[in-house]
A = this chain, B = another copy of it.
Amino acid sequence: MVLTEKHKELIERIGVFHEHKGMQPLVGRIIGLLLVHDEGEVSFDEIVEQLGVSKSAVSNALTFLQAKGRCVYSTRPGDRKRYFALKVSDWREDFEKELQNIAEIQKFIDEVLEVRTEKNPEFNCRMRDFSNFLCFFKQEIPALFERFKKQQA
């Protein structure tokens, strides 16, 4: 597949978006490439060529993506190459994980509330509010997906 300037520019922007989420630059750009690529499946070699980086860098980045469960490869009969693809099918689980992750802060809030004295009751009160909200939020997540399903039908 030949990438246009528009493709390349979009890949770069998707790359920096993921960099801001803490991933290393190449990992983000590989996600971009796998998203934009027509076939959805891209060989190791093509990743190296399209992004103009070394094999070692691609190898490490793909190992990382597979470890994170964001990427898989398949093979084809009579072809030794690996074709890498994003696990787009898992977007529900992935998104749910992200939501659970931002709610992780609740654990810390609760620990903080345990060690705090009553010197600043207003502060403590707001923290308790926040903790209660996070608890409520976590409970609401499954219902959110349910409502989406209904709305789709």
Contacts and interface: CB of A to CB of B under 8 A. Distances in A.
Interface string A81-109: 00000001101100100110010110011
A147 B130 CA distance: 14
A13 interface: yes
Interface of A is mostly: helix
Contacts of A92: 133
Interface residues of A, number: 49
Interface of A: 4, 6-7, 10, 13-14, 17, 20-22, 35-36, 38-40, 88-89, 91-92, 95, 98-99, 102, 104-105, 108-109, 111-112, 115-117, 119-120, 123, 126-127, 129-130, 132-133, 136-137, 140, 144, 147-148, 151-152
Q: Which 10 A-B pairs have the closest CB atoms?
A: A40-B123, A38-B119, A40-B120, A91-B130, A88-B126, A35-B112, A22-B22, A38-B117, A136-B148, A14-B108
